[in-house]
């Protein structure tokens, strides 16, 4: 169970690194505009906000990585809870698919971490 939990936490971590890269470096680029379905004008006007959002995703990834490297369940639980809250909030306020892309993997990883912690 511990290995499966670590794998899922690792996947959530990589997802947030991917969000960081997209939001900080590819937002105002044809790749980012295609992924987020934006015009060049919209992506240019919102690039600073997206970079800020990407930085926050980087902090989530860093916290999860810290929890993985140190095998600290408390750190993993805290940052997975942050991922879930951010995913639910984003899904309710921005785009519903964020719940499935961010919150749901966070919930699954959290469940496995809690089960691994008990066993």
pLDDT single digits (tens) 26-83: 999 999 999 999 999 999 999 999 999 999 999 999 999 999 999 999 999 999 999 9
Cα Rg of the chain, angstroms: 15
Q: What total of structural domains would you count in the chain?
A: 1
* Contact of 45 with 71, CB cutoff 8 Å: no
pLDDT at position 13: 98
Domain limits at 40? 2-118
* Contact of 38 with 22, CB cutoff 8 Å: no
Q: Which two tokens stand for residue 110?
A: 């959290």
Check whether 22 has a pLDDT greater than 90.
yes
pLDDT at position 32: 95
pLDDT at position 106: 98
Q: What is the mean pLDDT of the chain?
A: 97
Residue that has been written with the tokens 């809250």 in this structure: 85
Runs of H (alpha helix) within the chain: 2-25, 30-35, 40-70, 73-93, 97-98, 104-118
Tell me how far apart the alpha carbons of residues 102 and 95 are, in angstroms, rounded to a whole number: 11
pLDDT at position 104: 98
Per-residue pLDDT, averaged over 85-91, amounts to 97
Per-residue pLDDT, averaged over 13-32, amounts to 97
pLDDT at position 119: 72
Q: Percent of the chain scored above 70 by pLDDT?
A: 100
Instruction: Sort residue 37 into left (φ over 0), alpha (ψ -120 to 50) or beta.
Output: left
């Amino acid at each position: 169970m511990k290995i499966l939990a670590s794998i899922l936490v690792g996947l959530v971590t990589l997802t947030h690194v991917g969000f960081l890269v997209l939001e900080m470096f590819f937002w105002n680029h044809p790749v980012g505009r295609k992924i987020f379905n934006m015009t060049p004008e919209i992506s240019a006007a919102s690039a600073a906000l997206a970079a800020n959002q990407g930085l926050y995703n980087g902090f989530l990834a860093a916290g999860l990585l810290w929890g993985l490297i140190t095998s600290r369940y408390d750190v993993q639980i805290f940052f997975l809870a942050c991922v879930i809250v951010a995913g639910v909030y984003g899904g309710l306020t921005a785009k519903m698919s964020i719940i499935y892309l961010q919150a749901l993997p966070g919930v699954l990883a959290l469940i496995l971490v809690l089960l691994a912690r008990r066993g």
